[in-house]
Structure 1
Amino acid sequence: MKYDWILFDADETLFSFDAFKGLELMFSRHGIAFNEADFIEYEKINRPLWVQYQNGEISAAELQQTRFRPWAKKLNTTEQQLNDDFMNAMADICKPLPGAKSLLDSLKGKAKLGIITNGFTALQRIRLERTGFADYFDLLVISEQVGVAKPDRRIFDYSLEKMGNPDPSRVLMVGDNPQSDILGGINAGFDTCWFNHQNQPQPENITPTYQVATLIELEKILE
């Protein structure tokens, strides 16, 4: 095995993350029929917040609460309560992506495995337990707990320290987001694999070591 450590992003790399379905379920529990138009309005607020979060301009708590502010007023509840309800709904609909379990099975015992995620603590832990994936991983690094998000070099340095400072060239970072996962991994000195399952154009300034459309492809490369 070429790598001592293989690090994964979580959302849309190991697990499906269907925010619309999660919001639909969450709001149905509040007696509201959430629709595509509502989702478009939500994303107008949510997406820029994620960019700010990844750039280190706002905290995880600010992101979680600001995105639900308009709804909290309408429903006469708190932003925090809606965020908690959303995390619970996302956990309830969580599924591993096709090929994820097979890939982890094929790597177990051959390399150490870790997760570095910008997702939030509440959801990550529940999903790992419910999917039975928790036992595969030697490392779980969550940006909310570290205080910086990918692609910030500090979250990768923190991870390396937790891993016992292996040679970065023997670490592979796998993720679906070229900006946070791949650029972050390259800057940390890792090999990278862009899991481009949504067939996006490759950004000009980011060149991953590998690019795959399925996790089965990655399993074959690593064999």
Structure 2
Amino acid sequence: MKYQWILFDADETLFHFDAFAGLQLMFSRYGVKFEQQDYQQYQTRNLPLWEAYQAGQVNAEQLQQQRFEYWASKLEQHPQQLNDAFLEAMAEICSLLPGAKDLLDALKSKVKMGIITNGFTALQKIRLERTGLSGYFSPLVISEQVGVAKPHKDIFEHAFAQMQQPEKHRVLMVGDNPHSDIQGGINAGIRTCWLNRHGEERPEGIEPHYEVSSLKQLQTLLEAA
């Protein structure tokens, strides 16, 4: 195989990330019926915070707390308590994307695999355990622990150090987010593959080396490489 290492993003690359369903489950435990309009209001706060996090303007703790400030005030809870409850709910509903297990089983004897994620530690580790994938990935690099997020090249350099400084042309980054995963891989000087499951237009100025619409297509691509 052409590549020695495959680095994966986690959310919406290997795992479904249905935030609306997770929030509905979490808020149901506080006696709140969380509707689509509530989710849209939440996202008006959450999405800019994620952009700021990826730009290094806020840290993980600030993101986690500030996105729940409105609901924390309404429910008389601490924002971090709501965030923890949300991550717990997301872990409960976690599932793999179609083709993920087949892909990983096909690759595990041929390449080394790692994860680089901007997600949060509590959710990442429990999902890997519950889906039986804990032994597939090393390193597991989580931005919350490193203190810097994709697309910054420093989180990749942190991973490379754990990978014993591999030849960069033999490392492939796979992810669904062109702005963090693909631009991050480009910033780090490695090859990239955009998992574009929803047929989105390629952002101007971001050029992945490969583009696939499913993990099955990725498997076919890698087996031919």
- Cα deviation 1:57-104 (Å, max 9, x = unaligned): 000000000000010111111001000000000000100000000000
- Cα deviation 1:162-200 (Å, max 9, x = unaligned): 100000110000000001000110111111100000211
Q: Determine if the alignment matches structure 1 residue 21 to structure 2 residue 21.
A: yes
Tell me the amino acid that sits aligned with residue 36 of structure 2. Answer: E
1:18 and 1:116 map into 2 onto residues whose CA distance is 20
Tell me the amino acid that sits aligned with residue 59 of structure 1. Answer: N
TM superposition shift of 1:152? 0.5
1:138 and 1:147 map into 2 onto residues whose CA distance is 19
2:27 and 2:33 map into 1 onto residues whose CA distance is 7
- Cα deviation 1:13-43 (Å, max 9, x = unaligned): 0000000000000000111000001001000
SS of the aligned residue for 1:101 comes to helix
The TM-score with structure 1 as length reference comes to 0.99
The TM-score with structure 2 as length reference comes to 0.98
Structure 2: which 5+ runs fail to align? none
Q: Determine if the alignment matches structure 1 residue 187 to structure 2 residue 187.
A: yes
Within 5 A, what are the aligned runs for 1:1-223? Answer: 1-223=1-223
Shift >6 Å, 4+ stretches: none
Provide the aligned C-alpha RMSD in A. 0.5
Tell me the amino acid that sits aligned with residue 66 of structure 1. Answer: Q
Tell me the amino acid that sits aligned with residue 136 of structure 1. Answer: Y
- Cα deviation 1:130-166 (Å, max 9, x = unaligned): 0001111121000000000000010011111110000
TM superposition shift of 1:55? 0.1
2:210 and 2:17 map into 1 onto residues whose CA distance is 23
1:38 and 1:139 map into 2 onto residues whose CA distance is 37
TM superposition shift of 1:49? 0.2
Tell me the amino acid that sits aligned with residue 167 of structure 1. Answer: E
Tell me the amino acid that sits aligned with residue 184 of structure 1. Answer: G
TM superposition shift of 1:110? 0.6
1:204 and 1:52 map into 2 onto residues whose CA distance is 20
TM superposition shift of 1:109? 1.5
The number of aligned residues is 223
SS of the aligned residue for 1:165 comes to coil
1:28 and 1:199 map into 2 onto residues whose CA distance is 33
